Amino acid sequence: MPTSVEAMQTNDTYNRGGMIAFVFSMVFSLVFFFYISLMHQGINLKEIPEEAMSGGSPSGEGAAAVAAVDISKIEKPWEPNDDMVTHGAKIYKANCTACHGDKGAGDGPAGMALIPPARNLIEGKWKKGGDSIALYKTLHDGIEGTSMAAFKHLPKQDRWALVQFIHSITKNKVADDAAKLEAFAKSAD
């Protein structure tokens, strides 16, 4: 059984090691902070290509087509329009591929782990209906009891672009009632 003097020496050894680690981490943090604050030149954002900052890597004619899409000038974004589909593909890539996969097959890296798994948009076995109104409502409200989150934070035009993109890739196309769709679209937020 150790004596009280031996126990104190053992505790001092442990305390000394902890104190050394603490002092080292504080000195390192202060030196790092000093370097970042006063010496580091920073990053010149003009040196980074624009497509790298947006997460894409368009090239050639595709880059011009993506850059040329200005959906703000489209008066009725719910009506079929190639520019809306192109814009929807861009929004899809940024917001939906993690769960639904690059092509919409429900095979995204996050979607494979979800219970229930992410919807295969190509097959289009719709829970809430597959017409434009149902898809828009799904994007706006999500689907309760699933991992499908609401995307009402996206601008209305972007949600309509996503609806049009989904229509462009699905095999289970549900026809829209044009009059109902227009009435809904004009009142939707």
Domain boundaries 77-187, corresponding CATH code: 1.10.760.10
Alpha-carbon torsion 180, 83, 81, 125, what sign?
Answer: negative
Asked whether 111 and 117 are in contact (CB, 8 A), the reply is yes
Mean pLDDT of 155-173: 91
Contacts of 145 (CB under 8 A, 6+ apart): none
The Cα–Cα gap between 19 and 144 comes to 52
Q: Are 154 and 95 spatial neighbours (Cβ–Cβ below 8 Å)?
A: yes
pLDDT at 162 over 90: yes
Q: What is the pLDDT of residues 87-97, one digit of tens each?
A: 999 999 999 99
Q: What percent of the chain has pLDDT over 70?
A: 77
Are 172 and 123 in contact by the 8 Å Cβ rule? The answer is yes
